[in-house]
């Protein structure tokens, strides 16, 4: 019988791609999402790719009663992948209590239910934001964490602590925290992808919306960083590659291959790319001309960060496979599909 996995935030950007990969690996998926930043239509598009429409319930996991009731009615879940969270850095500065309440209470409710309903395994969405601007590059999992720049970043840091303390106190629980670098791109089918509400904050959605004519120009935030071309450097990881890492992490927990009850993996490509390299890459991969202008640095941005992926490569047996051009083309194909551009 297929093993049942709860994917919270499963209609979101990374969640939806992970649901497809789980289904294609033979897992049964049940999604919980409050649809605060995603659409119910994602379920049909997942079904078009994998052939199976996942089970779905709409509620917010910060509601303890609804969360308990869900687990009461859904016996036999073997693991949780917990994506559901607020993620807008700027907004988190404006409404920090909403971020802390939503992101932390939902995690604690899930952990309580894991104990009560005997669901031993969790894979958690963390972020390279926990490293801040590291002293040494690339960053390994042992690189010290820094004070968070935003309430959003702090929820990731505190969530990691909550997980670590919980698995220590309750040995029946096991958790893997995955620290994502910068996820970009879309499923090659162009049926699922990133759909930001309002003006995109992240680089690649802004690029594709500019190319699609929704925005006049891309603003490149800063060309006076201490990097080869002066623009900031990140490690851009294809979202399908990233989704596959979750399947690997789930199998590791279910097969008891984990080396400790709490483990952390960096998920990136291992390559740092500048904003201008991504812009050039987009033009090269798609043949579209991008209107962009250099402006001031953005507050809160780090200069450069990229992953040392050795541990994920060797321990998880996972490696990023897709190249930049293919990934940027997938993002563009998705944008065109959403906007009805031929």
Q: How far is the CB of 151 from ligand UD1 (least distance, A)?
A: 10
**Single residue of 25, 140, 189, 201 touching ligand UD1 by CB under 6 A:** 201
Question: Does the protein bind ligand UD1 through residue 21 (CB under 6 A)?
Answer: no
| Complex with ligand UD1: residue 219 or 322, whichever CB lies closer | 219
Catalytic site residue from 27, 152, 236, 262: 152
Q: How far is the CB of 168 from ligand UD1 (least distance, A)?
A: 26
Question: Does the protein bind ligand UD1 through residue 276 (CB under 6 A)?
Answer: no
Q: Binding string to ligand UD1 for residues 180 to 199, with x set by CB under 6 A, is what?
A: --x-----------------
- Can you give the chain as a three-state secondary structure string? CCCEEEEECCCCHHHHHHHHHHHHCCCEEEEECCCCCCCCCHHHHHHHHHCCCCEEECCCCCCHHHHHHHHHHCCCEEEEEECCCCCCHHHHHHCHHHHHHHHHHHHHHHHHHHHHCCCCEEEEEEEHHHHCCCCCCCECCCCCCCCCCCHHHHHHHHHHHHHHHHHHHCCCCEEEEEEECEEECCCCCCCCCCCCCCCCCCHHHHHHHHHCCCCCCEEEECCCCCCCCCCCEECEEEHHHHHHHHHHHHHHHHCCCCCCCEEEEEECCCCCEEHHHHHHHHHHHHCCCCCEEEECCCCCCCCECCECCHHHHHHHCCCCCCCHHHHHHHHHHHHHHHHCCC
Question: Does the protein bind ligand UD1 through residue 258 (CB under 6 A)?
Answer: no
Question: Does the protein bind ligand UD1 through residue 242 (CB under 6 A)?
Answer: no
Q: How far is the CB of 323 from ligand UD1 (least distance, A)?
A: 19
The yes-or-no answer on residue 152 being catalytic is yes
| Complex with ligand UD1: residue 50 or 201, whichever CB lies closer | 201
| Complex with ligand UD1: residue 29 or 128, whichever CB lies closer | 128
Q: Binding string to ligand UD1 for residues 141 to 180, with x set by CB under 6 A, is what?
A: --------xx--x---------------------------
Residues that bind ligand UD1 (CB under 6 A): 87, 89, 127, 129, 149-150, 153, 182, 201-203, 206, 218-221, 232, 234, 275, 298, 300-302
Residues designated as active site: 152
């Amino acid at each position: 019988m297929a093993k049942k996995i709860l994917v919270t935030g499963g209609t979101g950007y990374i969640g939806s791609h992970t649901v497809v990969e789980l289904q294609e690996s033979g897992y049964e998926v049940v999604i919980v999402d409050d649809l605060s930043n995603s659409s119910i239509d994602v379920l049909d598009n997942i079904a078009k790719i994998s052939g199976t429409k996942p089970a779905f319930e709409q509620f917010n996991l910060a509601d303890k009663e609804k969360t308990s009731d869900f687990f009461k009615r859904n016996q036999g879940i073997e693991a949780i992948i917990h994506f559901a969270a607020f993620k807008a850095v700027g907004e988190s500065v404006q409404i920090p209590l909403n971020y802390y309440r939503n992101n932390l209470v939902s995690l604690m409710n899930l952990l309580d239910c894991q104990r009560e309903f005997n669901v031993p395994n969790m894979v958690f969405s963390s972020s390279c934001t926990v490293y801040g601007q590291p002293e040494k590059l690339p960053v390994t999992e042992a690189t010290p964490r820094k004070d968070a720049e935003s309430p959003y970043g702090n929820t990731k840091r505190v969530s990691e602590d909550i997980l670590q303390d919980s698995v220590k106190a309750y040995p029946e629980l096991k958790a893997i925290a995955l620290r994502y670098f910068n996820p970009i791109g879309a499923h090659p089918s162009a049926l699922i992808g990133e759909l930001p509400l309002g003006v995109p904050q992240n680089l690649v959605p802004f690029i594709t919306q500019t190319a699609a004519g929704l925005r006049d120009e891309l603003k490149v935030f800063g060309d006076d960083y201490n990097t080869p071309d002066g623009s900031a450097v990140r490690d851009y990881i294809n979202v399908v590659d990233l989704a596959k890492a979750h399947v690997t992490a789930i199998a590791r927990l279910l097969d008891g291959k984990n080396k400790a009850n709490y483990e952390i993996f960096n998920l990136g490509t291992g390559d740092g790319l500048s904003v201008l390299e991504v812009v050039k890459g987009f033009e090269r991969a798609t043949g579209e001309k991008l209107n962009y202008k250099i402006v001031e640095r953005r507050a809160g941005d780090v200069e450069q960060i990229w992953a040392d992926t050795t541990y994920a490569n060797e321990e998880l047996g996972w490696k990023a496979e897709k190249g930049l051009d293919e990934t940027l083309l997938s993002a563009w194909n998705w944008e065109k599909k959403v906007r009805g551009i031929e």
